[in-house]
Structure 1
Amino acid sequence: MAESNHDSEHTAECTEAPEYGNAVSSARRVSMARDEYGNLPGLPRLEYRLMEHKSKLFLVSGLLIFEGSILPIILFYPLWYLTDLRHGILFAIITSFFGLVSGLEFAHRSWRLIHKNDKYRPLDGTRWRFDFTHATLSICYTIMTGILIGASIPHEPLVRPLAIPVPLLFIAAGMLCIVTGAMSALGMRTACKVSSIPKGAPQPPYVLTAVEDVVGVDGGGARHFRRRLLERYKASKYFRRLIAELNWFWGIGSVINGAGSLAAVWVIPSQEIAYGVGWGEPLGFFVVWTVITVLWTRRGLREEKKLWAVNSRDKVAVMESGTDTQNTN
């Protein structure tokens, strides 16, 4: 009876979930092992502990933030005000540092994805096909680099255009979240393979894809994490709700912040101040949104645990009540 109830609980919960074909068809649907959620039948475990990878993640994240926000500012103002360097040379120096850390990390990420060992590739992925986040980042980095090089070429560099790459990146990422969030809410399906999600499956919010790709490759979670994340998303409507909320939070916030920063760059009378705003303001937004996201996620996962446990108990009670009635009859 316990095993029957267990399977019924999981089946009932999964009927509300989107289907993702072969990506999770071979994965286990039920997890009885005790983890951070305790013994919760039917709730797949993510089996990934961030603190075990904290050194690399914090180091890489810190270097990327330094390169993409702090370094341009600390190079620009001293060189602009305290030296006699021609402005073209000044921005050539700054631009030469852009992509140093992100380029190395991007190359390392590329190697992991194309290595003959498919450990880090998306589920059902091929060797020469990157995950969705890698493809979108490639486009964004190309555009940002083009802007930096193009605006640096004139004898007197175009300072304001040189300040807009990060706001544009935030707008692009935010729009991606909003579009995929709307597609998910409307029940639309993917037009192509999206990381581990096959073509023709229900479109997930981009936050789910970003978590899958970043943790799966950069965080070392590998294919096992990709599989478990999709299992969790498939099984738990509470987890799907949390992902949707975070997706709208980042999507709307990123677009508003990026558009505001972009407008400020062009409206502020001093181009020198505008340059600092374009590179520095998005960092403040990112830090605040990240802190809120961490707190929100912790609270959401605790709530998921409580609601899943209550829902499971209610289903067992209904099934036992029906069994008792049949036995009486």
Structure 2
Amino acid sequence: SAVRSLPPLRRKETKLMQKKAHPWQHIGITLGLPMILLFDIIIPCIIYYTWYNNQQSIRSRECREQYPDQDCPIEHKQFDKDILGYAIICFGFGELWILVARVLRLWQHRDECAPLLSRSKWELDATSWVYAVAMIMALIPFIVSSTLVIPKLYLYSPLFIMGFLGITMVITLAVPFKLPIGINSHARGTRLRPFIYYAAEDFIAVDGLQDREFRVRYNERYDTNKMFRAFFFKLTLWWILGVCVYAGCVSAVIWTLEFHYAFGLSLGVLFAYIVIWAAVSAVWTKWEIKREHKAYEEGQV
């Protein structure tokens, strides 16, 4: 009689995020998104448009008094470098809040959430350093436009952040060299990985409160799962595309609309880009994890 074989066992893949973190465990990080919305959109718009509407009221009154029933030659003022400077400073405060909150957690809970090869609290993680440099890059158009009085250049500050991140993403894909220094959980001499891989590891471990246990599982998954590796390559390409789309859209807004329209709409374009790309990434990631989990259980990876 034919020998009956047992059905193959279904392998169970290890879950990457196993901690049930409560948002109040680190209030600074939890308040990051509200701070971004408040200081990157709401307050800058309040500062600028309060000043702009006041200028319009003054101009209208002067036109009625000095040039009744005539075309008014008084300048239609749309820009004041001091007012715009205050608005741009507010824009940076939201990003600074996130950076400080992350750094504090890495300092106070280094043994829990720092990169696996971290030897000092001053090493922080790759995301913190890249984030800090990106913020410095945003100061370039602010300083130049203040010195040379180029109003439109003020509006490019967010693009300098995204442009720097986009260039870094391209380098991680186009030039996968061996690391001259250790980055995050990877020693010197290991091959550079896609930008989004490092960003995801740090944000989930530190901001998502999943800590070092997640970093161990995450790195092991990348080393052993080719589908996981391919996904991060594609996801980084997706965000590079996003930077290009954002750069084109915000430039069109800045150079085709009057300044008082471009100011608010350029901020709207920034957050529309972030929301759309983040939402697609979240859905895509959820779908990909399910696909990889099924492939793992069936022994395909």
Q: Given the two structures, how large is their TM-score scaled by the length of structure 1?
A: 0.71
Structure 2 unaligned residues grouped into runs of 5+:
1-9, 59-76
Work out the CA distance in 1 between the residues paired with 2:34 and 2:212: 25
Work out the CA distance in 1 between the residues paired with 2:266 and 2:188: 37
Question: How much does 1:153 deviate?
Answer: 5.4
> Is 1:81 equivalent to 2:53 in the alignment?
yes
Question: What's the secondary structure of 2:16's corresponding residue?
Answer: coil
Which of 116, 123, 130 is equivalent to 1:123?
116
Which of 145, 152, 155 is equivalent to 1:163?
155
**Aligned residue identity for 1:45:** K
Which of 219, 222, 227 is equivalent to 1:230?
219
Question: How much does 1:240 deviate?
Answer: 1.6
Work out the CA distance in 2 between the residues paired with 1:80 and 1:158: 18
Work out the CA distance in 2 between the residues paired with 1:65 and 1:73: 11
Counterpart position of 1:143: 137
Work out the CA distance in 1 between the residues paired with 2:164 and 2:217: 28
Work out the CA distance in 2 between the residues paired with 1:125 and 1:40: 33
Counterpart position of 2:16: 46
> Is 1:248 equivalent to 2:234 in the alignment?
no
Size of the alignment, in residue pairs?
269
Work out the CA distance in 2 between the residues paired with 1:164 and 1:203: 30
Structure 1 unaligned residues grouped into runs of 5+:
1-38, 316-329
Counterpart position of 1:172: 164
Contact 2:116 2:184 in 1 (8 A): yes
> Is 1:202 equivalent to 2:191 in the alignment?
yes
Work out the CA distance in 2 between the residues paired with 1:78 and 1:249: 38
Counterpart position of 2:270: 282
**Aligned residue identity for 1:151:** S
**Aligned residue identity for 2:154:** L
**Aligned residue identity for 1:304:** E
Contact 1:159 1:272 in 2 (8 A): no
Distance 1:69 1:198, change over 3 A: farther
Work out the CA distance in 2 between the residues paired with 1:297 and 1:305: 12
Question: How much does 1:116 deviate?
Answer: 7.7
1:281-307 Cα distance to aligned partner (Å, 9 max, x none): 111111111111111111111111111
Question: How much does 1:270 deviate?
Answer: 1.6
Which of 95, 101, 115 is equivalent to 2:88?
95
1:232-264 Cα distance to aligned partner (Å, 9 max, x none): 211222222222221111112213322442354
Counterpart position of 1:7: none
Question: What's the secondary structure of 1:196's corresponding residue?
Answer: coil
Counterpart position of 2:71: none
> Is 1:292 equivalent to 2:280 in the alignment?
yes
Contact 1:121 1:131 in 2 (8 A): yes
Counterpart position of 1:182: 174
Contact 1:72 1:94 in 2 (8 A): yes
Question: How much does 1:148 deviate?
Answer: 2.6
- Which segment is superposed worse, 99-108 or 206-215? 99-108
1:5-27 Cα distance to aligned partner (Å, 9 max, x none): xxxxxxxxxxxxxxxxxxxxxxx
Q: Given the two structures, how large is their TM-score scaled by the length of structure 2?
A: 0.77
- Which segment is superposed worse, 195-204 or 254-263? 254-263
Contact 2:114 2:125 in 1 (8 A): yes
> Is 1:216 equivalent to 2:187 in the alignment?
no
Write out aligned runs for 1:63-74 (5 A).
63-74=35-46
Work out the CA distance in 2 between the residues paired with 1:50 and 1:294: 19
Distance 1:257 1:283, change over 3 A: same
Identity within the alignment, %: 20
Distance 1:49 1:112, change over 3 A: closer
Work out the CA distance in 2 between the residues paired with 1:264 and 1:116: 43
- Which segment is superposed worse, 85-94 or 215-224? 85-94
Work out the CA distance in 2 between the residues paired with 1:276 and 1:229: 40
Question: How much does 1:90 deviate?
Answer: 1.6
- Which segment is superposed worse, 80-89 or 234-243? 80-89
Question: How much does 1:75 deviate?
Answer: 2.8
Contact 1:151 1:161 in 2 (8 A): yes
Counterpart position of 2:297: 309
